[in-house]
Structure 1
């Protein structure tokens, strides 16, 4: 029996042990998030939690007393009654204590018997996490009820010491009450690091006593762009910042919940709010303004100006005095070098420091390394260490730096091999500002991307790292950038329930089992409901899976939803209801349909699922790719091109196949000789992401799948700088031909001279080859 099967059996046994209990009593359940490491059923009578149950702690321990009071308040949240908290040991109650035999400093032991509940931790942090597990084991709707907690022994500890969440308050500002609520949400998920992104081009959010104008000027932008840099603005002034007293209050609040706040002052890029305040710190001298749009400004701190370096050190000095964190985050990401290339002071610094470019990096990239190393030395002189985004690897890594790998996992792998501590936070798995559903029309506007719950859950922080270097991965963190998140309610929507998947990744060593994770998540959402959190409810919507049966020429549609619900569907585009056919087996589609489906529950119906399947002569036919798609954009590896489903403008949904610097070469088996005279396809263009259109198309045919003859070819004009991003349909027509096999070659374009990435290979994203 493997570990996962054994654990499932334990949870089943617990459920069985309480199934016959008095129906008037709420039943506890230890299938919580994050999943505990070891759970053992004791087989004895359960403990009965009731209004008279006391919570006791070791006298004289203020931290333990605080955790006891938290636990009492947590119990009150779901039962309505608040246990009395007292020092000492009152016997048949809940007792908190320190246990020296627990090895992991954040580990705990939760023992439940008929006679009481014992939460013992190696430290008060461990006790706090034990209290969180007990809290989540109590049903969320136990109003006024006694709670039966099954007899159990839980030995639990975190996999990683760094378990983080990030919040950007520069693009949109959130007051301290919201930040405290964010911290409460982290605590609920056993997270212990809050990465607070305090400064950026769009606003300076922290009071610096030595430079008071930073908040008088730098915290205010005159207006904000509407949408994705549309060129239209809302005309509304925007501001907000935290005083140092407010920050101290938030730090204290987090400390009570065993959360360390890591402040970020992003440098040397993302400093436009500071330059707007003190233009002499920039390369051009300004004038500058706090940025009213999104993106990355070319105006950065002047690396050759000693006054600029002194400014950064002065700011960091006050930040270090405020925050007790071992780590200070100094950014280091997205720093354009165009100003440095033309700045006499920066070029003089390059010359004075003997900096020279080479085949790996330009002199200006090494100049960034100089700035990072200098700031690191300053931070180290104060007894702290730096964290930076993975760009700090460019030009040489500062000796004691910790790397946050955000541009995929490559930077983390490289840093670990260099024996630097790594925090994995790849955008491909852990950027919670990405869309979490393909139904983007019904979700709030997001930055783009596609990051569903299942992908977050699938993340393995040490993948790709040789075993001897895996010890340098100290944890994982998800990031929330707030360009398109103006309210804290939307913050909640974007982080939950993806944060639940992250919590399991950060804490548990158990093998991944997404289907076993989902029922635990459903339980957690009931607590979210109780707490009034605005979480995303996609798991209660319908999940559709599409496959092609090439032998039968059918698209096979499987529908699922979470929780108890019947699914009803229609195939003619009409709105489904209880009178519509009930889904009981996968649907096999052979013709054009518009599927609509709804999950029907007593508590309310799901959103209507809707999808069109359009058939042509290639639909549901086997596809062989002679050139593999680029890693990360290969998805199912070919069937996407003939599944009858059209991708929208989000190229990360799995509907599109992406090829970087390679042509598409697909062979479609029509299964029998078929006459046709037209081949069409769509490309998805996002120029800022290096995704261009097609440069040409060639069509070849064959009767045996071996020898192909060209029947048509066409050149497609390159896109211009002013051409809009979006979907570009392409087609080629020719005299009718009859063949079984069709080879479609779609030529990739190059990044043009006007593009910022010129010289690098462009991406080509293609979907749905249509043969008529």
Structure 2
């Protein structure tokens, strides 16, 4: 049986691919010629291939494998690459280092599947099919969010998570670090955030009702662990975007520092329920100072140009009753408590912009975030369209297509998940980041898409991977390749699952 066309074996599907006759075979004598600025790509190639292949891939001026940066290849942008494989040589070129890193992942997929295994492959010929590939992503933002606030995950697993993102050319790891149920990032100026806010006494065991497990849960990262994660992800071409929630979803912070709330003498515990808590930050000056201090430490650890500050699901109940909130409304000439939300986020956004960062916020309507915010629209594609029409950059994260904590099918044997709609593999694949009705200038403001994995019902790495894969493969394909036929994607996914299995991904069948 003839081998399938080259572009029918890769995921995401490359922009252009042409198979040629013949093969290139890696041997122990294969050397790599590393152009100026391509050293990190050569290091990644060796690091990824060595465990299974044992190939040393030593550098040499006359190496048969060539990694080269050429800034004149402007059509490839920041992530595109060109790969030419002949019987006696391999040439990988890009305008930027990130493009070379993406091309290394393609080489990895083109090799026999045993190249992805953790253990050495015996008796395997490490061959690449001869080919010409030119590959440029459709969207610049292809993200995956992991919530470690509800259920803490060790940093070793976060590194594995990043490894799998890079394989699929996902370029943003959105790390949700704080919420009502836990605060995971240390802040030197406020040590109780993790000492108290990083621990809860129990957790709900279902989406509704007062049923709890009676088991304490906690955890926090060290600054060194987070800095190391950022460095590790950068070497794979993945940017870690941190999220620090405000002014809602802050019960863990208020358990540590009650004076930041709207009833400063109240004693609170880290929230043990799921859902939306009505305990929110106050709007007095000390709170704004707290937020700026926290964000200064976040910026020290995370060089990402984007920084997520949450912003959604902020009940107004406490502000309606608070004398300090009413005083702020009068002092700022606002119309009422509803205006405080936009006023608060505008102050935070301005602070980040002055520090050279781009604030990102969740949007419930598409029109509530201040100017300068990148909008992450999750409720409805119409909200993404509204935000882009207002001039915001937009990430379309529609929950009916990107929330991976929802069940993957209606099969009663599926493990518990968020109540509500099923988010099936085909739903993820069919989600176009550019909403219907977008003109060309509006579509240009849609940066891309992102998957979300909230972890109320996913406490372990095994469950996380079961929920993530293969659905994230569909999002990666759509975000990089643009629209592809469902049958084409499924046939490529059927081949790709062998790679997931070689990597021991505990996936949905």
> Do they superpose with TM above 0.5?
yes
2:50 maps to 1:71: no
Residue 88 (structure 1) aligned with residue 61 (structure 2)? yes
Which among 171, 176, 191 is matched to residue 192 of structure 1?
171
Deviation at 1:513, TM superposition (A): 0.8
Equivalent of 2:10 in 6, 14, 32: 32
Shift, 1:229, TM fit: 3.6
Instruction: Tell me the CA shift for residue 150 of structure 1.
Output: 2.5
Is the Cα contact below 8 Å between 2:373 and 2:393 reproduced in 1? yes
Q: Decide whether the 8 Å contact of 2:44 with 2:236 is kept in 1.
A: no
Partner of 2:181: 202
Corresponding residue number in structure 2 for 1:409: 381
Shift of 1:13: 7.8
Q: Secondary structure, in 3 states, of the residue corresponding to 2:113? A: coil
- 1:494-505 equivalences under 5 Å are 494-505=467-478
Provide the C-alpha distance between the structure 1 equivalents of 2:380 and 2:246, rounded to a whole number of angstroms.
21
- The match for 1:287 is 267
Matches for 1:659-698 after TM superposition, within 5 Å: none
Is the alpha carbon distance of 1:193 and 1:471 closer, same or farther for their aligned partners in structure 2, counting shifts above 3 Å?
Answer: same
> Hey, what does 1:530 align to over in structure 2?
502
- Counterpart of 1:485 in structure 2 is 458
Gaps of 5+ in 1: 1-11, 17-27, 357-362, 538-772
Kindly tell me: are residues 58 and 33 of structure 1, through their superposed partners in 2, closer, same or farther at Cα, counting changes over 3 Å? same
Q: 2:294 aligned with 1:315, yes or no?
A: yes
Matched, 1:429 2:368: no
Cα distance 1:57–1:390, how it changes in 2: closer, same or farther (>3 A)?
A: same
Partner of 1:388: 361
- SS of 1:475's partner is strand
| Whole-Å separation in 2 of the counterparts to 1:327 and 1:141 | 37
- 1:156 and 2:129 are equivalent in the alignment: no
CA contact (8 A) 1:270 1:300 kept: yes
Distance 2:496 2:384 in 1: 31
Alignment of 1:634-673 (within 5 A): none
**Which residue does 1:119 correspond to in 2?**
92
**Residues 13 and 41 in structure 1, CA contact (< 8 A), matched pair in contact too:** no
Match of residue 367, structure 1, among 307, 322, 340? 340
Q: Any idea what the Cα deviations from partners look like across 1:650-685, whole Å, max 9, x if unmatched?
A: xxxxxxxxxxxxxxxxxxxxxxxxxxxxxxxxxxxx
The secondary structure found in structure 1 opposite 2:46 is: helix
Tell me which of 159, 167, 190 is aligned to 2:146.
Answer: 167
Candidates 379, 390, 397, aligned match of 2:352: 379
2:111 to 133, 138, 146: 138
Residues 226 and 394 of structure 1: CA distance in aligned 2, closer, same or farther (over 3 Å)? same
Equivalent residue for 1:756? none
Q: Using the alignment, how far apart are the partners of 2:24 and 2:363 within structure 1?
A: 50
The aligned residue for residue 41 of structure 1 is: 19
Equivalents in 2 of 1:151, 1:199: separation in Å?
48
Aligned residue for 1:302? 282
Check if 1:58 corresponds to 2:35.
yes
Distance 1:485-1:225 versus aligned 2 partners, 3 A rule = same
Cα distance in 1 between the residues matched to 2:49 and 2:199: 42
Cα distance, 1:131–1:66 mapped onto 2, change above 3 Å: same
CA distance 1:115–1:404, change in 2 (3 Å)? same
Q: CA deviation at 1:15?
A: 3.6
The answer on whether the counterparts of 2:199 and 2:216 sit within 8 Å (CA) in structure 1 is yes
Cα separation, 2, equivalents of 1:34 and 1:160: 12
The question of whether the paired residues in 1 share the 8 Å contact of 2:31 and 2:57 is answered with yes
Separation of aligned partners in 2, 1:394 and 1:414: 7
Superposed CA RMSD:
1.8
- Contact 1:69–1:85 under 8 Å retained in 2: no
Contact 1:30 1:137 in 2 (8 A): no
In the alignment, structure 1 residue 350 sits paired with structure 2 residue 329: yes
Separation in 1, partners of 2:338, 2:365: 10
Contact 2:245–2:311 at 8 Å: present in 1 too? yes
Q: Does the Cα contact within 8 Å between 2:366 and 2:377 map onto a contact in 1? A: no
Q: For 1:350 and 1:505, how far apart are their aligned partners in 2?
A: 45
Alpha-carbon distance, 1:148 to partner: 3.9
SS of residue in 2 equivalent to 1:48: strand
Q: Equivalents in 2 of 1:415, 1:213: separation in Å?
A: 37
User: Secondary structure, in 3 states, of the residue corresponding to 1:479?
Assistant: strand
Output the CA distance in 2 between the equivalents of 1:75 and 1:383. 38
In structure 2, do the counterparts of structure 1 residues 29 and 75 end up closer, same or farther at CA, with 3 Å as the change threshold?
farther
Per-residue CA distance 1:444-471 (angstroms, 9 max, x = gap)? 2111220110111011111322233100
User: Which whole-Å CA distance do the structure 2 matches of 1:252 and 1:50 have between them?
Assistant: 31
Correspondence for 2:118: none
Q: Does 1:444 align with 2:415?
A: yes
| Secondary structure at 1:388 match in 2 | strand
TM-score (norm 2): 0.94
Q: Does 1:520 align with 2:492?
A: yes
Task: Note the alpha carbon deviations across 1:202-226, whole angstroms, 9 max, x for none.
Answer: 0010000000111111101011122
How big is the shift at 1:499? 0.8
Q: Take 2:249 and 2:24, find their aligned partners in 1: how far apart are those partners?
A: 55
- Measure the CA separation in 1 of the matches of 2:317 and 2:62: 67
Distance in 1 separating the partners of 2:493 and 2:442 = 33
Determine which structure has more spread, i.e. the larger CA radius of gyration. Answer: 1
Question: What is the aligned counterpart of 1:226 among 180, 199, 205?
Answer: 205
Structure 1 pair 321/141, CA: closer, same or farther in 2 (3 Å)?
closer
**Matches of residues 518-667 of structure 1 in structure 2 within 5 Å?**
518-537=490-509
Q: Cα distance 1:391–1:370, how it changes in 2: closer, same or farther (>3 A)?
A: farther
Call closer, same or farther: CA 1:348–1:392 in 2, change over 3 Å: farther
In structure 1, distance between residues paired with 2:232 and 2:272: 32
Kept after mapping to 1: 8 A contact 2:31/2:60:
no
| SS of alignment partner, residue 114 of structure 2 | coil
The structure carrying a bigger strand percent of its residues is: 1
Is the aligned partner of 1:240 residue 2:219? Answer: yes
Q: CA deviation digits over 1:486-525, x for unaligned, max 9?
A: 001111111110111011111013x421111112112211
| Deviation of 1:100 (Å) | 2.9
Unaligned runs of 5+ in 2: 116-120
| TM-score, normalised relative to structure 1 | 0.63
Query: Residue 92 of structure 2: SS of its match in structure 1?
Result: strand
Residues 7 and 17, structure 2, Cα contact 8 Å, conserved in 1: no
Task: Kindly state the Cα deviation for residue 372 of structure 1 after the two structures are TM-superposed.
Answer: 0.4
